[in-house]
Amino acid sequence: MELGVLYSGGKDSTLAALLLEEFYDVTLVTGHFGISDDWKHARETAAAMGFAFDRLELDPDVAREAAARIREDGFPRNGIQQVHRHALERLAEREYDAIADGTRRDDRVPTVSRAQAQSLEDRHEVDYIAPLSGFGRTAVDRLVDARLEVTVGPSEEIDRADYEAELRAIIADEYGPGVVDELFPDHTQTYVTGVRREKE
């Protein structure tokens, strides 16, 4: 069965791929708006881990709407959520038997409700799987420690391929760079640089 995992290069989507690789033929799929080349970092990481890779073109209008929403709200949650749903819809249109993402039990954003999952599955005749949604924060942290090599640092220095980087670029461009720091107060990002496939 062919599975496309919505992939950012971060620890959650990497763990999601590792959890499913024994059961599906996994392709890591990175969404991008054509604003930056950050998706290429995800392609490198995918290649280093031995995963197939593809990119997913997202609608720049959705990015601009999300950026305006984030600016209006004063926090990124709803804007990121909007973009995540759009990316899942686009991914579901591809020819995969199943699609997945890295959403966790304790995530505040992005979240995919049971009703949204069912709707996605029914409309696109695809299975939607959130393999980390049954794992709490500590369980995920322990798996990350056991399996992943990661680089941690401030968002602006980490070459991560999630939509946040592109949303930040749009916001900096439209509202000035100072606004970005106000709207994204949580600076730390993690980027995966390697995996261990054996139990320690």
Chain centre distance of CA 5 = 9
Q: Does 129 bind its own copies (CB under 8 A)?
A: yes
x/- track of binding to its own copies for residues 145-184 (CB under 8 A): -xx-------------------------------------
Find the binder of its own copies among 67, 70, 132, 167 (CB under 8 A). 132
Cα separation, 4 vs 17, whole angstroms: 9
Q: Does 32 bind its own copies (CB under 8 A)?
A: no
Cα separation, 51 vs 122, whole angstroms: 28
Residue closest to 4 by CA, chosen among 147, 81, 16? 16
Find the binder of its own copies among 4, 9, 10, 131 (CB under 8 A). 131
Cα separation, 144 vs 20, whole angstroms: 15
Whichever of 24 and 39 has its CB closer to its own copies, that residue is 24
Q: At which residue do the structure tokens 């819809």 appear?
A: 89
Q: What is the DSSP letter of 111?
A: -
Find the binder of its own copies among 72, 118, 157, 181 (CB under 8 A). 118
Find the binder of its own copies among 139, 144, 172, 179 (CB under 8 A). 139
Which region, judged by CB under 8 A, interacts with its own copies, from 73-81, 137-145, 152-160, 161-169? 137-145
Query: Max CA-CA distance within the chain?
Result: 48
x/- track of binding to its own copies for residues 11-30 (CB under 8 A): --------x--xxxx-----
- Range list of β-strands (E), 91-147: 98-100, 127-129
